[in-house]
Every structure is written in structure tokens, then in C-alpha cells.
């Protein structure tokens, strides 16, 4: 058997991280078992399903590196096939036409609730003679649910899950306007796409019992099911906006790397010993459903931030520079010329050690593209006392004579200057850092000066000493 999994989102909004994790698990499971991962867009809700939402889904999955092995299937194009199956069940006597009006259905629900029963359809048209059907009256098609025994789903995460068949009702599979319902479309599509494993959130577990009725009525083999526990907020409540970011787009805009988000989502509800930071290759090698827990996971934004920092320190400097330059282009007063790019790339090894997101990285690198006079943060202002401005004027003369203007020579100049003036190196470096960056935080001062270049360093110092 060739393993075939699928991710089947409805394009009605952003790619939520719960759905993103389901996509990741499906992708990794297929890759781990040498199978195929497919994508199906469940766009039957034509009012809410938009091309923009579809594009957001594709973009988010591509950013995460989750690629389908076949062209995406759009559920809306398969309505004729769904309808065909509904009528096949009708012809076999496994489904029937229901002529109940909205008023009759409302009365059924109210009566059931008044009698303490679940508000279900009572099977009014299940066994009636078709000759009793009112003429020219719209009808739905309902499947005949089993009345006795129980349905058992052998779930690869939850274990065996049972429901008494008496709890199932004769659900509608084709609406009065001739359109198929979700439950029917999903089953037909999964069957026709040869899906062997349905891996999805456990909020679909109830749907699985209803869908099993269609599989069995059609004589089709059920796929293997694996229902993943949901992701909750840090407080254990349903994840919501008040907890923080919820969608892939939000995390990308906040400066998270796709490797970090993938890594975090994988470890959110799945584990393999003490393994924490895993490459895509390692994820594929190790992932299987036996490592998925049964309890809901809690979103830990601090842990995600930590993992992002780890991945940033491992990331390629050119790649990070490209992202930083794009973000700098959206900042006011920051030059994004080739000269700034060269400075950012040169200083990237030190910059990425001090940042945990791409946003933070760009903010820390912005001084490399700013023009004098710089804006100083409060801590930097405190370093630029009248005495320190005088000292910086003298230091500028020493730096003008430094040859070559590289890290080692700059370090030697600063140490010699501090020794000559009987100062600790930090008393020289901190005012200097404030003068050339506008902050008291930056990579090593020798690296920073080398990246800026002699002319820019002297210009920035002169802009400060001019206000002695």
C-alpha cells in the first residue's frame, strides 16, 4: 500500500496554526513512509471561499516548505461526482427522499428537546411509500443510518472510539437545491483520491462517524484515521486573538523563520525523546503517529521565540540580509543602497547572535543605513556627556590614522587609546558605540566600525563632537 495523505482546508480565512500543524503532520507522515501528500481545497462555500483566501493558503504552505505531490483538487469542480454517489445510494435503497418542510423539522427538534431527547430528525420519510410524496415539492436525500449496534473507529492517535448507532441520525447528503453536503463531498473525494490516511484535528471526530456511514453504504474501505488534539492557548483555553498570533501570516510578519515555526509546531503535541531542534530531513526520518499525544497542546510563545533564535543563528547570512533589506525598505529615513547592504552583510554574524526575530534583526541593523545626525535612545544620550564628546574628538584622530581600517587594527587602536589616556576599554567603547549607532547595544565595536567604514565612522563622530 502506498501511503497517501491530504490536507483539505476551506479557503475562508488565514492559515491557522492548527491547520498548519495538520498539514505538516500529513506531509511528514507521507514522506516518512515514502508516500504522497495531496492538497484539496474545499471551496464549496462559494460566498466565503475567495481566490484571495486560496492564494493565502498556497503562499503559507509554500513558505513552510509543504509541497503537494499532485496538482491541488478543488472540491467545487466535483459536484457532479458527489451528486452521482448520492443518487447511487438512493437507487440501492440505502438513502431516501425526505420531503419535510422547515416548519416540520423545527417542530421535531422542539418536541425532542421538550422530551429530553437530542434534537434529531425522526426518520419521518425513511420507510414511507414514495407514492405518498407530495407533488412538485422540493426534497433532500438522506442516508439511512444503522439503527442497532455500534460504530467503532480505530483511531491511530485516540485508540478505539465507539458510538452507539442509535446516536446517529439519517443525515442529509444532498440538499433540496441539489448541492452535496460537506460530509458526502469529503468521503467521495477522499475515496476517489485514494487517500489512505486522514490526519486531522479531533474536532472532526464526530464527523468521522457520520462519514463512516457513507463509506460502508458504498462498500468502500475506510481510510486510517488519526485525530490530532487541538492547540490551546497558554492558559488552556481555546486559542484566540487575546493569546497572540494565530496564523502563519502573522508569524511570518512578526519575523519568524519557517524552519522555526515548522520545528515548533512539530514538537507541539509530538515528541521523540529529548530531540528539540530538528531539520526537515530529521523530521521526516523520525516522525510517526505513535509519537503524537492524546491531550491538547498549549501554545508557548516564549518557547517559539527561543527556537526562532536558534534557527536564526544557524541561518545563512545572505538570506538574512535579503530579508533585513526588505524590512529596512519599509522604514523611514533608512538608506537601502548597495553600500548599506554590504554593511548589513558584513555585520550579520554579530547581528544575528543578538536577535530572536527578523523584525528585531532589522531594527538592530537599521543604524547601518541611517544618515547623520542620528537619533539617540535615552541610554545612548547618557553616554554622550560633554567629557565623552571631547574624548571622542581625540579618538577620531586616532581612527583616521588606523591602517588598514579592519577589525584587528581597530581593536589595537582602541586599546592603545584607552591605555594612553588611562581609561578602561569599556569607557571608550560605550560612548563610541552610542555615537556611531545611536544605541548602547550592537555587535562588537571593532566589527561595527569595520562594517561602517572609516569615512562613515568619522562623520558620525564629528556629528556628535560638533555639539560639545
User: 352 by DSSP, 3-state: which?
Assistant: helix
Instruction: Tell whether 241 is in a known binding site.
Output: yes
135 exposure class (CB count in 10 Å sphere: 0-12, 13-18, 19+): exposed
- Residues marked active site are found at 241
Residue 439 exposure: Cα atoms within 13 Å on the Cβ side: 14
What is the rounded distance in angstroms from the CA atom of residue 431 to the CA atom of residue 388?
A: 7
What is the rounded distance in angstroms from the CA atom of residue 197 to the CA atom of residue 226?
A: 7
Q: Note every long-range contact of 310-315, with CB atoms under 8 Å and residues 24 or more positions apart, other chains counting.
A: 310/260, 310/277, 311/257, 311/259, 311/260, 311/263, 311/277, 312/257, 312/260, 312/352, 312/355, 312/356, 312/357, 312/358, 312/361, 313/352, 313/353, 315/257, 315/259, 315/352
What is the rounded distance in angstroms from the CA atom of residue 431 to the CA atom of residue 428?
A: 6
Give the three cell numbers for residue 154. 480505530
Query: Nearest 5°: phi and psi at 178?
Result: 90, 5
Chain mean position to CA 271: 19
Contacts of 58 (CB under 8 A, 6+ apart): 72
What is the rounded distance in angstroms from the CA atom of residue 248 to the CA atom of residue 60?
A: 6
Binding region: 241
Q: Could you tell me which residues are annotated as the binding site for ATP? A: 241
Amino acid at each position: 500500500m502506498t501511503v497517501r495523505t491530504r490536507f483539505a482546508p476551506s479557503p475562508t480565512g488565514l492559515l491557522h496554526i492548527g491547520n498548519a500543524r495538520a498539514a505538516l503532520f500529513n506531509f511528514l507522515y507521507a514522506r516518512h513512509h515514502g508516500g504522497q501528500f495531496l492538497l484539496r481545497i474545499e471551496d464549496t462555500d462559494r460566498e466565503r471561499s475567495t481566490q484571495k483566501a486560496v492564494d493565502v493558503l498556497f503562499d503559507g504552505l509554500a513558505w513552510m516548505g509543504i509541497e503537494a505531490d499532485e496538482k491541488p483538487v478543488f472540491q467545487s469542480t466535483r459536484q457532479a461526482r458527489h451528486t452521482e454517489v448520492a443518487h447511487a445510494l438512493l437507487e440501492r435503497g440505502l438513502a431516501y427522499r425526505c420531503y419535510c418542510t422547515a416548519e416540520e423539522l423545527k417542530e421535531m427538534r422542539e418536541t425532542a428537546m421538550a422530551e429530553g431527547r437530542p434534537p434529531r430528525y425522526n426518520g419521518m420519510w425513511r420507510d414511507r411509500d414514495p407514492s405518498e410524496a407530495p407533488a412538485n415539492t422540493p426534497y433532500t436525500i438522506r442516508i439511512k443510518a444503522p439503527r442497532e449496534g455500534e460504530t467503532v473507529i480505530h483511531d491511530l492517535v485516540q485508540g478505539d472510539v465507539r458510538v452507539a448507532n442509535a446516536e446517529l441520525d439519517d443525515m442529509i447528503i444532498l440538499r433540496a437545491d441539489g448541492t452535496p453536503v460537506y460530509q458526502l463531498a469529503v468521503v467521495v473525494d477522499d475515496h476517489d483520491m485514494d487517500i489512505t490516511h486522514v490526519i486531522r484535528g479531533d474536532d472532526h471526530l464526530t464527523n468521522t462517524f457520520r462519514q463512516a456511514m457513507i463509506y460502508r453504504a458504498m462498500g468502500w474501505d475506510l481510510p486510517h484515521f488519526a485525530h490530532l488534539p487541538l492547540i490551546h492557548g497558554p492558559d488552556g483555553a481555546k486559542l484566540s486573538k487575546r493569546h497572540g498570533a494565530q496564523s502563519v501570516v502573522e508569524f511570518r510578519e512578526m519575523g519568524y523563520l519557517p524552519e522555526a515555526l515548522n520545528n515548533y509546531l512539530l514538537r507541539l503535541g509530538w515528541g521523540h525523546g529529548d530531540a528539540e531542534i530538528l531539520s526537515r530531513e530529521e523530521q521526516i526520518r523520525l516522525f510517526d503517529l505513535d509519537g503524537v499525544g492524546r491531550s491538547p497542546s498549549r501554545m508557548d510563545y516564549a518557547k517559539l521565540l527561543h527556537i526562532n533564535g536558534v534557527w536564526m543563528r544557524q541561518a545563512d547570512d545572505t538570506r538574512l540580509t535579503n530579508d533585513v533589506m526588505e524590512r529596512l525598505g519599509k522604514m523611514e529615513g533608512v538608506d537601502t543602497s548597495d553600500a548599506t547592504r554590504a554593511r548589513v552583510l558584513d555585520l550579520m554574524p554579530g547581528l544575528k547572535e543578538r536577535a530572536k526575530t527578523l523584525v528585531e534583526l532589522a531594527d538592530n541593523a537599521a543604524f547601518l543605513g541611517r544618515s547623520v545626525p542620528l537619533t539617540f535612545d535615552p541610554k545612548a544620550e547618557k553616554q554622550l556627556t560633554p567629557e565623552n564628546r571631547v574624548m571622542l574628538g581625540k579618538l577620531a584622530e586616532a581612527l583616521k590614522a588606523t591602517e588598514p581600517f579592519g577589525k584587528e587594527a581597530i581593536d589595537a587602536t582602541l586599546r592603545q587609546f584607552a591605555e594612553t589616556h588611562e581609561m578602561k576599554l569599556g569607557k571608550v567603547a560605550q560612548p563610541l558605540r552610542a555615537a556611531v549607532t545611536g544605541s548602547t547595544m550592537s555587535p562588537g565595536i571593532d566589527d561595527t566600525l569595520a562594517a561602517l567604514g572609516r569615512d562613515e565612522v568619522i562623520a558620525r563622530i564629528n556629528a556628535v563632537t560638533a555639539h560639545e
